[in-house]
């Protein structure tokens, strides 16, 4: 059979899926000169009708009987046929096939075919998915691509991994951002920090549209078509884009297309920005990227650098990877949840063993009912878990935590399927539930980062559903994430009424113990207090790294610092991140089941900084620590400490990834040298030397001139002008 004869035979067929599938596949094998499934007499590696557990069947009325994939070739592909008039597109067929992949040894390719169209979907870990479409009439010219699926499936692996795709998209997108920021500048940096940027808000809408069309939430590459139509008519872009944004906000028709109800803060009343011809040309290049392949755990960081004027210098620098974030998420969140799942598994083992041994389907259904209920209850429990990042930035920690929750939920579904128990595939987990109950909570002082965090979280959630062959079931698709708050995470101010005594935090002594309460000033000025955090089961994050000597250099005002020192009883030399640790400690005192994992400067291990760790050890314990770990912070390689702590309930300790008996307050194991006392014999034999409080040095020539000048009080200027050296000078002499 020639390729043209193959096309002629199948182009007019009206056979059912079952009647056509085997013969069509055999014809393809003959066409490319490849053996048919019958060449494997056992069917262990290559077969028609490969049995699978129907994970997705619960929503389709199945009672749990085995399903079958039309064709399977180990290490190559799973192939599913659909009737031509049953699916206008093959998206649903792919989603059904994806649910079976665990039972099929996770082949690198999923192929769906309705005779007229063959879609090849790729699955390579760490690489974006690809979808290759081959129409029936294209078979003669594209037969080599079908042959590759049979003999070399790994040739379909994309050249760029997910991280590289995201970096490249950010770079191209940055060209458009630069043009718009130059045209619509926020001249006052304070306005940027308080009100955000209209350019940033508009570009986030664009980003989401590009992502939505690539995963099928917007039909027929709708936004790309809009951009192409405006290439030679840029004036029409603004009204057309604005119309699309408005319809996405409420749902409805856009031309001939039905648009889903997106809602959310993203598609609000803010107008689209007008574009010039050059802008549309760049935007067209942006549309060509594979936005379904972005990596959300670095996505937010890259775009924050592009659009935030304070971070523009970091563009092109390194970023915190997903694997680094997992050093916090896995031991603090997932270790606890996986133990609960393991306990459930152990409890159900007798029932599960009985299910596998029972040959009768009806009896299996009866036996499986209690296990099905308990497994589904565990999935519902996962949807109640709340995670707070009180320094969430663009949402990277929250996204990674959400992904791990979803992966665990999917693991439960597949575990149930292996024991002939069918659960609905869609998770109950959501960033924000339809009843307004939040699952992810965040606090971020930068309004732009706050908004970006919401977009990152929703993109990550929808991407996870798409990769797993699932559709978002709730409407609207994007409820507003009111749980990502734009405010100061460590300090809040309450107005003090006249003649009223300011309230005092129960953990904090009076701000001025030397004063009697009757002498407190009567004022209506705002009263500083430690910020309140929402209650959460887990607290994770990367608080700002700032040593106390740099507070004022980095823009913290005297008024703010006085308020901070007044609200907390920490040493004034404590690094800024210590205030997040203190609030996390108080959160655990109020909600004892809470677990926390935060990053800190290495300085938290020593001297006054260690005060907050001493309190954590007194009220609970440290169960995980990396005292000196390489990290990427604001594009630069630094060394940090990572600390996990709770109320002392966690019995397992890990130190630098290995099991430990105990973790000391200075983030060491073994002998607790932090408790060592000064020896009297060593007194007065060592001195740390003088430490500069600021940069106030005089050139030698100027110093000599000042020393020679008289002083009005008759004293020599040598009393205040002194030579200064340190160890570095001695090393070079």
Q: Please give the structure tokens belonging to residue 222.
A: 């709708």
Has residue 524 been placed in a domain?
A: no
Cβ atoms 158, 122 nearer than 8 A = yes
Say if residue 634 is exposed, middle or buried (CB neighbours under 10 Å; 0-12, 13-18, 19+): middle
| Paired strand residues for 118 | 113, 134
Calpha distance 107→473 (Å, rounded): 28
Has residue 8 been placed in a domain?
A: yes
138 and 195 part of one domain: no
Domain boundaries, position 76: 3-156
Nearest to residue 340, comparing CAs of 421, 411, 419?
411
94 and 199 part of one domain: no
215 and 337 part of one domain: no
For tokens 């900084």, the residue is 609
Q: Quote the pLDDT of residue 520.
A: 31
Calpha distance 323→334 (Å, rounded): 14
Q: Integer distance in angstroms from the first to the last C-alpha of the chain?
A: 89
113 and 177 part of one domain: no
Nearest to residue 596, comparing CAs of 607, 605, 585, 606?
585
Q: What is the dihedral of CA 641, 431, 468, 341, to 10 degrees?
A: 70
129 and 265 part of one domain: no
239 and 337 part of one domain: no
Q: Please give the structure tokens belonging to residue 310.
A: 């304070």
224 and 337 part of one domain: no
Has residue 503 been placed in a domain?
A: no
205 and 137 part of one domain: no
Residue 380: CB atoms within 10 A of its CB come to 13
Q: Is the backbone of residue 516 left (phi > 0), alpha (psi -120 to 50) or beta?
A: beta
Has residue 482 been placed in a domain?
A: yes
39 and 104 part of one domain: yes
Chosen domain end from 125, 156, 187 = 156
Count of CA atoms in the C-beta half-sphere (13 A) of 136: 16
Q: Please give the structure tokens belonging to residue 305.
A: 């650098």
Across the chain, which has 733 residues, the per-10-residue mean pLDDT values are 92 85 94 94 94 53 62 95 69 78 90 92 89 92 94 93 84 82 61 58 88 87 93 93 92 90 80 90 88 81 70 60 91 97 93 80 81 95 97 92 95 85 90 86 88 88 87 82 92 70 43 32 67 97 89 88 94 93 97 96 84 94 93 74 96 93 90 70 73 75 89 86 76 62
Has residue 394 been placed in a domain?
A: yes
Q: Quote the pLDDT of residue 496.
A: 60
Cβ atoms 115, 20 nearer than 8 A = yes
Q: Quote the pLDDT of residue 168.
A: 82
Q: Quote the pLDDT of residue 675.
A: 66
Mean pLDDT of the chain: 84
Displacement of CA 680 from its chain's centroid (Å): 53
| Paired strand residues for 259 | 252
Displacement of CA 183 from its chain's centroid (Å): 31
Chosen domain end from 486, 501, 526 = 486
- pTM greater than 0.95: no
Q: Quote the pLDDT of residue 405.
A: 97
Q: How many domains does the chain have?
A: 4
276 and 365 part of one domain: no
304 and 431 part of one domain: no
| Paired strand residues for 663 | none
CATH number of the domain that 119 lies in?
A: 3.90.1570
Has residue 246 been placed in a domain?
A: yes
Has residue 123 been placed in a domain?
A: yes
104 and 173 part of one domain: no
Calpha distance 531→583 (Å, rounded): 8
Q: Please give the structure tokens belonging to residue 254.
A: 């856009």
Chosen domain end from 314, 333, 364 = 314
Has residue 16 been placed in a domain?
A: yes
């Amino acid at each position: 059979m020639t390729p043209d004869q193959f096309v002629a035979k199948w182009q007019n067929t009206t056979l059912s899926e079952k009647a056509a599938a085997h013969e069509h596949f055999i014809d393809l094998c003959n066409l490319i000169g490849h053996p048919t499934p019958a060449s494997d007499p056992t069917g262990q590696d290559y077969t028609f009708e490969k049995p699978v557990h129907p994970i997705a069947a619960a929503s389709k009325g199945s009672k749990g009987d085995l399903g079958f994939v039309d064709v399977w070739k180990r290490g190559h592909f799973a192939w599913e046929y659909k009737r031509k008039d049953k699916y206008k597109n093959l998206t649903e067929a792919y989603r059904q096939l994806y649910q079976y992949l665990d039972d099929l040894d996770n082949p690198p390719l999923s192929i769906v075919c309705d005779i007229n169209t063959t879609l090849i979907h790729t699955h390579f870990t760490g690489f974006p998915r690809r979808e290759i479409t081959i129409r029936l009439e294209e078979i003669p010219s594209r037969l080599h691509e079908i042959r590759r699926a049979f003999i070399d499936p790994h040739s379909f692996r994309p050249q760029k991994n997910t991280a590289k795709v995201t970096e490249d998209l950010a770079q191209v997108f940055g060209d458009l951002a630069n043009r718009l920021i130059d045209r619509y500048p926020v001249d006052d940096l304070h306005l940027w920090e308080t009100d955000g940027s209209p350019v940033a808000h508009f570009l986030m809408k664009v980003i989401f549209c590009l992502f939505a069309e690539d995963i099928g939430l917007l039909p027929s590459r709708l936004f790309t078509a809009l951009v192409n139509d405006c290439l030679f008519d840029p004036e029409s872009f603004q009204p057309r884009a604005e119309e699309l944004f408005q319809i996405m906000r409420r749902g409805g028709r856009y031309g001939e297309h039905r648009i889903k109800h997106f809602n959310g803060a993203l598609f609000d009343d803010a107008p689209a920005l007008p574009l010039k011809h050059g802008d549309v040309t760049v935007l067209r290049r942006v549309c060509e990227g594979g936005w379904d392949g972005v990596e959300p755990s670095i996505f937010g960081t890259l775009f924050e650098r592009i659009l935030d004027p304070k971070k523009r210098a970091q563009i092109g620098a390194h970023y915190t990877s997903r694997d680094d974030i997992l050093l916090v998420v896995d031991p603090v969140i997932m270790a606890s949840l996986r133990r609960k799942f393991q306990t459930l598994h152990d409890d159900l083992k007798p029932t599960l063993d009985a299910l596998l041994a029972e040959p009768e389907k009806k009896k299996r259904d009866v036996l499986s009912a209690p296990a099905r209920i308990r497994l589904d209850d565990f999935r519902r429990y996962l949807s109640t878990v709340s995670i707070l990042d009180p320094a969430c930035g663009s949402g990277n920690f929250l996204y990674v935590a959400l992904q791990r929750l979803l992966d665990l939920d999917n693991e439960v579904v597949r575990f149930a399927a292996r024991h002939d128990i069918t659960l609905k595939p869609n998770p109950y987990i959501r960033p924000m539930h339809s009843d307004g109950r939040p699952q992810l909570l965040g606090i971020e002082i930068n309004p732009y980062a706050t908004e970006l965090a919401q977009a990152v979280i929703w993109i990550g959630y929808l991407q996870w559903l798409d990769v797993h062959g699932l559709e978002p079931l709730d409407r609207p698709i994007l409820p507003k994430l009111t749980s990502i708050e734009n405010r100061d995470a460590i300090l809040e101010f309450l107005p003090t009424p006249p003649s009223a005594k300011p309230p005092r935090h129960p953990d904090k002594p009076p701000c001025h113990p030397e004063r009697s309460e009757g002498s407190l000033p009567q004022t209506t000025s705002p009263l500083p207090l430690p910020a309140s955090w929402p209650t959460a089961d887990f607290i994770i994050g990367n608080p700002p790294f700032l040593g106390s000597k740099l507070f004022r250099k980095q823009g913290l005002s005297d008024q703010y610092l006085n308020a901070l020192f007044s609200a907390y009883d920490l040493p004034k030399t404590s690094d800024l991140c210590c205030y997040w640790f203190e609030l996390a400690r108080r959160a655990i005192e109020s909600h004892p089941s809470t677990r926390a994992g935060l990053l800190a400067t290495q300085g938290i291990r020593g001297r006054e900084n260690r005060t907050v760790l001493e309190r954590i050890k007194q009220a609970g314990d440290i169960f995980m620590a990396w005292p000196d770990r390489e990290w990427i912070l604001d594009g630069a390689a630094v060394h940090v400490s990572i600390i996990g702590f709770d109320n002392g309930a966690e019995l397992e300790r890990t130190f630098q990834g290995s099991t430990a008996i105990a973790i000391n307050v200075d983030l060491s194991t073994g002998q607790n040298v932090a408790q060592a006392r000064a020896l009297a014999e060593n007194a007065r034999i060592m001195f740390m030397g003088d430490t500069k409080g600021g940069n106030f040095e005089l050139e030698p020539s100027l110093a000599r001139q000042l020393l020679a000048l008289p002083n009005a009080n008759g004293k020599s200027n040598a009393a205040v002008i002194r030579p200064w050296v340190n160890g570095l000078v001695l090393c070079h002499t």
